[in-house]
Amino acid sequence: MRDDSRRLRWERRTQGPFLILAFLYLVSWTVVAVDSRQLSPLSIAFAVLLVLIWLTFLVDYVVRLLLAADRGRFFVTNVPDLVAAVLPQLRPVVQLRHVRTVPFLARHTGAAQRARIAVFAIAFSVVFVYSIALTVLVAERFAPGAVITNLGDAVWWACVTMFTVGYGDLYPVTTGGRIWAVVLMMGGVAIIGTSSAIVVSYLNERIRQPHVVEQPTLEMDAEPGNADGAAPGEGTAPSERASD
């Protein structure tokens, strides 16, 4: 049986650089999306950078597949990586899985697991919404009758769509924009479901914790030698009268 250590070693070495490349892709994608001039020198330069980063993602996936000990199992268990290689705008979302390598989040306690899920859910929501907003903006901005024509409108539409509000003031008119809208809706359902599970898990753990009731302690302010707790001076007067 082939050894999988070479693939793991490759992934450890490239984890940081590819995380940087993923967010560099997001920045370049933003520049291309917000530039209102078609085929401007700035857009062309960043578009070339996007293509180069995309090819790097493809090469990374192919190298990892070739280095895998069981290529069939690698293919089945790394479908998100394949999707991110084909659709590079989702690569920043896929790269967020590496948050589990943070020392605290790598623990197996209940608090650490909830923290890991919460951090991932928040980061996933932000990056996912922003990535979809950029993609829809590129698909919509020059289409006839489009109402999503700038980044602010695109982000607003993505937020209200993901949280199932749907005011109806903004909507995609192109086929590509509507397909990405469906992807956004499915992601919103997953995010809301994950958030609900975190809250339920936290409440269950709090309810199951034993409640320690502290008994109040009564402090006696009696004088030394006065065991019955009488007020100072009481209990001594009768003895003095008896001696008289």
Any domain includes 168: yes
Kindly state whether residues 73 and 125 are assigned to the same domain.
no
174 pLDDT band, cuts 50/70/90, is very high
Model confidence over 7-57: pLDDT tens digits? 888 988 888 788 888 888 888 888 888 876 767 788 889 889 989 998 998
Same domain, 192 and 110: yes
Do 5 and 51 reside in the same domain of the chain?
Answer: yes
In a domain, 83, yes or no: yes
**Using an 8 Å Cβ cutoff, are 170 and 157 in contact?**
yes
Q: What is the pLDDT of residues 151-163, one digit of tens each?
A: 999 999 998 888 7
Q: Report the number of distinct structural domains present in the chain.
A: 2
Segment 83-122, tens digit of pLDDT: 888 888 777 777 766 655 555 555 656 666 667 677 777 8
The CA-atom distances, in angstroms, between 19 and each of 23, 24, 25, 106 are: 7, 9, 10, 18
64 with 20, same domain?
Answer: yes
Structural domain includes residue 43: yes
The answer to whether residues 83 and 32 belong to one domain is: yes
Q: How confident is the model at residue 5 (pLDDT cuts 50, 70, 90)?
A: confident
Residue 242 lies in a domain: no
Q: pTM for the complete prediction?
A: 0.67
Residue 239's alpha-carbon distances to 225, 230, 235, in angstroms, are 15, 15, 7
Would you say residue 63 lies in a domain?
A: yes
Q: What is the mean pLDDT of residues 209-235?
A: 50
Would you state the pLDDT for residue 106?
57
Residues 119, 207 within the same domain = yes
Most confident of 29-43, 143-157, 210-224: 143-157
Kindly state whether residues 124 and 57 are assigned to the same domain.
no
- What's the farthest any 2 CA atoms get from each other in the chain? 118
Tell me, what DSSP letter sits at residue 169? S
The mean per-residue pLDDT over the stretch 156-177 comes to: 86
* CA–CA dist 153, 169 (Å, integer): 10
Q: Are residues 118 and 198 in the same domain?
A: yes
The pLDDT of residue 62 is 92
Q: Domain check: are 110 and 14 in the same one?
A: no
User: Among 54, 89, 124, where does a domain finish?
Assistant: 89
Q: Is residue 239 part of a domain?
A: no
Q: Would residue 230 count as lying in a domain?
A: no
For the domain that residue 160 is a member of, what is the CATH number?
A: 1.10.287.70
Residue 109 sits in the same domain as residue 202: yes
pLDDT of residue 102: 55
Pick the range with the lowest mean pLDDT from 82-91, 181-190, 195-204, 227-236.
Answer: 227-236
Q: Given a cut of 60, is residue 218 above it in pLDDT?
A: no
Stretch 155-182: mean pLDDT:
87
* Any domain includes 108: yes
Which of 70, 91, 75 is closest to 20 using CA atoms?
91
Kindly state whether residues 205 and 143 are assigned to the same domain. yes
Range of the domain at 159: 102-213
